[in-house]
Amino acid sequence: MTIHIGAKPGEIAETVLMPGDPYRAKWAAETFLKDAVLINEVRGMLGFTGTWNGHRVSIQGSGMGMPSLSIYANELIKDYDAQTLIRIGSCGGMQDKVSIRDVILAATSSTLSTPSIGIFKELNYAPCADWGLLHAAFHAAEARGVTTHVGGIYSADVFYDERPDLNEQMTRHGILAVEMEAAELYNLAARHGRRALAVLTVSDHLITGEALPAEDREKSFGDMVEIALEAAFA
């Protein structure tokens, strides 16, 4: 057990999917894993372990934002020896070519700051995904016929952003979407020699103002979860 994760030694698999929402973790575990067992509920941040096609998998909520994700990813890596960590979550599209329900595979993630800034100091470190996971996820998405984009995203510090000038420059420079966690996950994976990837579903769009209706989210998010699982064990 750790301060934030109540799982016993051996209860967390080497492969961990990390949605921000603990109830999305519950839904994904009940939908995609066989014999899923609740292994964490400390602070309501639910975690489950089961199997997918014979492979052990854990799905652990990370909370919203990089500071929260950093806590769970650090403990999963340092205390439970997680080897592969895949963020599954929603994002806001930032390019005309990106549509609602599309999947984005984050090759890199830009930020204003992360919890790791104290380590890097003056260095503007560029965190990136694990190539093997990225490659496998792209082919898994292609095989499923899911419209997929690969490229850079933006991990924001705030949800209610008031920097239209910054958004304009990111769009100008090809940033595909915005979310709030991936950059720190990539930092931690690089630091500890682990594999990491963010597989994201476009749930709303900053340019068009579109948003995915609540009743449509489950099916769209299902594609994302299956792509992540297939990539993890390719």
* 193, two tokens: 């020699």
Instruction: Compute φ and ψ for 137, nearest 5 degrees.
Output: -65, -40
Which residue out of 157, 204, 216, 223 is catalytically annotated? 204
Is 88 labelled as part of a ligand binding site? yes
Helix/strand/coil for 83 = coil
Is 90 labelled as part of a ligand binding site? yes
Buried b (16+ CB within 10 A) or exposed e, 191-214: ebebbbbbbbbbbbbbeeeeebee
* 124, two tokens: 């503007």
Give the Cα separation of 148 and 142 in Å (integer).
7
Is 86 labelled as part of a ligand binding site? no
Give the Cα separation of 73 and 76 in Å (integer).
5
* 114, two tokens: 């992360």
Is 193 labelled as part of a ligand binding site? no
CB burial of residue 83 (10 Å; 0-12, 13-18, 19+): middle
Is 181 labelled as part of a ligand binding site? yes
Q: Is 157 a catalytic residue?
A: no
Is 184 labelled as part of a ligand binding site? no
Q: Say which residues have a Cβ less than 8 Å from residue 181's Cβ, sequence separation at least 6.
A: 18, 20, 62, 64, 65, 66, 68, 69, 87, 89, 155, 198
Is 113 labelled as part of a ligand binding site? no
Give the Cα separation of 178 and 180 in Å (integer).
7
Is 43 labelled as part of a ligand binding site? yes
Is 172 labelled as part of a ligand binding site? no
Is 117 labelled as part of a ligand binding site? no
Is 62 labelled as part of a ligand binding site? no
Is 20 labelled as part of a ligand binding site? yes
> Per the annotation, where are the binding residues for a purine D-ribonucleoside?
4, 179-181, 203-204
Which residues are known catalytic residues? 204
> Per the annotation, where are the binding residues?
4, 20, 24, 43, 87-90, 179-181, 203-204
> Per the annotation, where are the binding residues for phosphate?
20, 24, 43, 87-90
